[in-house]
Chains A and B, each alone.
Chain A
Amino acid sequence: MTATAWNQLPEVRSPAGRTAAAVLAEGPRRQALPGFEPVYRDIVDYIVRCTHRIWEQKDIGLCRTHYADSCVMHTLNGPNCGVENVVQGTLSALSAFADRQAIAEDVIWSEDAPGLFYSSHRITSRSTHEGVDATYGAGMGKAQMATTVADCVVRDNLIVEEWLFRDNARAALQMGHSPRAVAAAQADADRLGDPARHAWRQAWIDRVRAHETRGPDADHPASGPARLLDAAWRADLYGEAARQVSPSIEVSWPTGRYGWGRGYWAGCLLQMRAHLHRFAMTIDHWAARPLPYGDVAVALRWSACGVHAGTGPWGAPTGREILVAGSSHYVLRNGRIVRDQTIFDELAVLRQVHGGLGAQAPSGGVR
């Protein structure tokens, strides 16, 4: 149940295909935003503008008026809790990649209850590694351009919960690093210290396996893509799913995967599934918004897990249970997917493959 239908308020526009001046233009409010700063015209403007103010204008302290004290930021590397950790994380990132341009591609939002907003913000950020980064060390002037999806729950001008998915393996490659080497080093560090700090991962896996979410209603635009993910990943009916997308679907998946056509789309889904046995998945949230010319943008946030017992780009099977969480943004035309942009952090997946984040190998070896 939502307070605003997915296609209400067409004046609250996607940033897709708009000039920078149009996206950042100030003006009167276009949407009821109780408790939000007056500068924000609507929920899309809030997301895009606060990102601009914090990351580009470098007013990092605004995190304190835009994140709840008890906020939780979920990533596949672990949760980040509390606003001061958000401030510190932002400072660290900008000290290494100062010239970050966060170019908004879309904000697919819903109002899940009056004044309670959910946004799925797709950004492709360009930045140069000039400072010292905790993972990559000293900057060598290499550029990176990674796509991120940030899903936020927002109320009263505050982000109370966030899920952050970044194409970190692609970023590592762009900077000349081996994702395998980076992930292995992270995994080595993960095995030191208190293993209880990785408990969040097992809790997330347990929720996926419990499969308690219900999925979108049939009359919501997200129901179609959700049904296709179901057909592919739960029923292993990749042809059935592929026949329902455009024959010329454009596909962008993490770590440089890019192609056209049903065969490529099915191949991406099948590759993931082939890695992971005893596969389970959930659709955790969905939203849809109108795009120009009658197209529809759909965001699906999903979680998946399975035992790494299949071969593929992640290397030899390890028998470890792996958690994958991500967001898929689709463009629908006449109800059919013509574009799929899926993001998950494949570097964090590799970190688990190498035994990090609490991922244990079975004592009896891979079965």
Chain B
Amino acid sequence: MKDAVTVGATAAGAGAGERAGERVGAGVGAGAGEGEGAEASAIVGAAADVWAVLQLLLCGQAAAAEHLANDLRVEASGHTTFGRTDAIDLFAVHPLVFSDDVQRLVSPRSLAVLGDTADGRAVGAFADLVEGVITRVWVVAATALDATAEPAVAVARDDFMSQLRQRCQGDAADHPELQSDDWAHILGLGVAALDAGPPAASSSQVWVMRAFSSGGSVAALYRLRVHAATLPRQAHDRLVLAVARVQGSEAPLHQRLALSDPLPGPAPVSL
């Protein structure tokens, strides 16, 4: 397989307790009881299918196509694609092979997976799901050498619109699969993501793109806008995938972050 990146189980914390993907079905909602076993199995079954489809997609296998949204959007390794066929073509050139024992969290609307490459780099993928169909995928990994951004009209922006600044912006109300008690953890993981990168100016910002709770764990996808700490001020974007075990207000356990390389910035266009 051309230039495939192989991703395996996390180096630490792997074990039965980390197979959250298989407990997620039972963990969604108030908790699984006997009467919910069938529903949980169905969710797990569906989740397993979605995982299989995602694996096929990330390997650029055409067999994935019929299970993908026709308007699938993918952001991966600095590339963006629209439509299921372009996505498959992208991963045929830049495949990402996740082994089955990587850390997986799944919910009816989301699938997050995180593992390590052979050289120890954390790499992840996040998928939006609609009734078991993958509709959007973000891959958090190195930026491919051939990745470029389209030219774009630049837009002047103020990401804070206030001197009172929040480093991580978002709203729990946008994430219906997130338990309310977990929002503070999501914000904390976002700030940790910003601090995990290279030194950045205080004007750098994190947005919570996606977040969900699953069986005592949380997963979140963030977009970072990182301003250089020196002048002239230049910014780049990165993606971050975070997963963690959480318990009440205590600090998250087994916290893992996958941080992408800087995403290619568009060449500004003067019209």
Contacts and interface: CB of A to CB of B under 8 A. Distances in A.
Interface in A125-184: 126, 145, 169-170, 173-174, 179-180
Interface of B: 66-71, 82-84, 86, 109, 128, 130-131, 133, 135, 150-161, 169-171, 173-174, 176, 205, 207-209, 223, 225, 266, 269-271
Q: Provide the main secondary structure of the chain A interface.
A: mixed
Contact of A263 (B150, B161, B269, B270): B161
B133 A19 contact: yes
B147 to A, nearest CB: 15
B271 A313 contact: yes
A334 interface: yes
A290 to B, nearest CB: 13
The 5 A-B pairs of least Cβ separation, nearest first, read A256-B152, A17-B130, A17-B135, A267-B157, A263-B159
B163 to A, nearest CB: 13
17 contacts: A17-B130, A17-B131, A20-B66, A124-B82, A126-B83, A180-B270, A253-B155, A259-B157, A260-B223, A260-B225, A261-B157, A262-B169, A263-B161, A267-B157, A270-B156, A313-B271, A314-B271
A80 interface: no
A173 B208 CA distance: 31
B269 A173 contact: yes
Contacts of A254: 153
Interface in A318-357: 333-334, 336, 338, 346, 350
Contact of A292 (B82, B84, B130): B130
Interface in A29-86: none
Interface string A247-285: 110100111111111111011101100000000000000
Given A105-B71, A264-B157, A271-B155, 8 more contacts: A15-B70, A17-B135, A103-B71, A103-B83, A124-B83, A248-B171, A248-B209, A266-B158
Nearest to A179: B271
Given A174-B150, A333-B174, A255 B205 contact: no
A116 interface: no
B88 to A, nearest CB: 13
Contacts of A266: 157-158, 161
B70 A256 contact: no
A15 B205 CA distance: 34
A246 B209 contact: no
A163 B150 CA distance: 27
B230 to A, nearest CB: 22
A276 to B, nearest CB: 14
A126 B82 CA distance: 9
B32 to A, nearest CB: 21
B133 A313 contact: no
A184 to B, nearest CB: 11
Contacts of B131: 17, 292
Contacts of A231: none
A247 B207 contact: yes
A179 B207 CA distance: 32
Given A19-B68, A255-B153, A313 B269 contact: yes
Contacts of A23: 70
A297 interface: no
B269 A17 contact: no
Contacts of A350: 271
Contacts of B154: 313
Contacts of B271: 169, 179-180, 255, 313-315, 346, 350
Given A19-B133, A104-B70, A263-B161, A248 B269 contact: no
A15 B209 contact: no
A180 B270 CA distance: 8
A101 interface: yes
